[in-house]
Amino acid sequence: MHSPVRSQPQCSAIAMPAHAGEVLFLEADPCDHVYELRRGIARGVYISPEGERQITGFFFAGDQIGLPLCDRYRFTAEAVTDLLYIRHSRLHWHDALIRSCTEDGRLHPSIMAEQDQIFRRGIIVGRNGVLARICAFLMSIVDHLSMDADGALLLPLPQIDIAAYLATSPETVCRALRQLREMHVIAVPRRDYIAITDRARFEAIANGI
Interface with its own copies (CB under 8 A)? 46, 48-50, 52, 54, 56, 69-70, 74, 94, 97-98, 101-102, 105, 107, 111-112, 114-116, 118-119, 121-123, 125-128, 167, 207-209
Q: Pick one of DNA, its own copies, none as the site partner of residue 130 (Cβ within 5 to 8 A by kind).
A: DNA
**CA distance linking residue 4 with residue 12, whole number of Å:** 17
By CB under 7 A, is residue 112 in contact with DNA?
no
Whichever of 91 and 167 has its CB closer to DNA, that residue is 167
Residue of 75, 143, 68, 71 whose CA lies nearest to 111: 68
**CA distance linking residue 107 with residue 110, whole number of Å:** 8
Q: Please state the closest distance from residue 179 (CB atom) to DNA, in A.
A: 9
Q: Pick one of its own copies, DNA, none as the site partner of residue 160 (Cβ within 5 to 8 A by kind).
A: DNA
Q: What share of the chain is helix, strand, coil (3-state, %, to 5)?
A: 40, 25, 35
Q: Please state the closest distance from residue 191 (CB atom) to DNA, in A.
A: 6
Q: What is the DSSP string of 93-153?
A: HHHHHHHHHHHHSS--HHHHHHHHHHHHHHHHHHS-SHHHHHHHHHHHHGGGSPB-TTSPE
By CB under 7 A, is residue 90 in contact with DNA?
no
Q: Please state the closest distance from residue 145 (CB atom) to its own copies, in A.
A: 22
- Can you state the angle between helices 130-141 and 199-206, rounded to 10 degrees? 120
Under 8 Å between Cβ of 185 and 194 = no
**CA distance linking residue 77 with residue 64, whole number of Å:** 11
Whichever of 167 and 195 has its CB closer to DNA, that residue is 167
Whichever of 54 and 81 has its CB closer to its own copies, that residue is 54
CA torsion 203→124→26→84, rounded to 10°?
10
Q: Pick one of its own copies, DNA, none as the site partner of residue 49 (Cβ within 5 to 8 A by kind).
A: its own copies
By CB under 7 A, is residue 47 in contact with DNA?
no
By CB under 7 A, is residue 175 in contact with DNA?
yes
**CA distance linking residue 45 with residue 22, whole number of Å:** 12
By CB under 7 A, is residue 81 in contact with DNA?
no
Whichever of 149 and 209 has its CB closer to its own copies, that residue is 209
Residues that bind DNA (CB under 7 A): 128-131, 158-160, 167-172, 174-175, 177-178, 188, 191
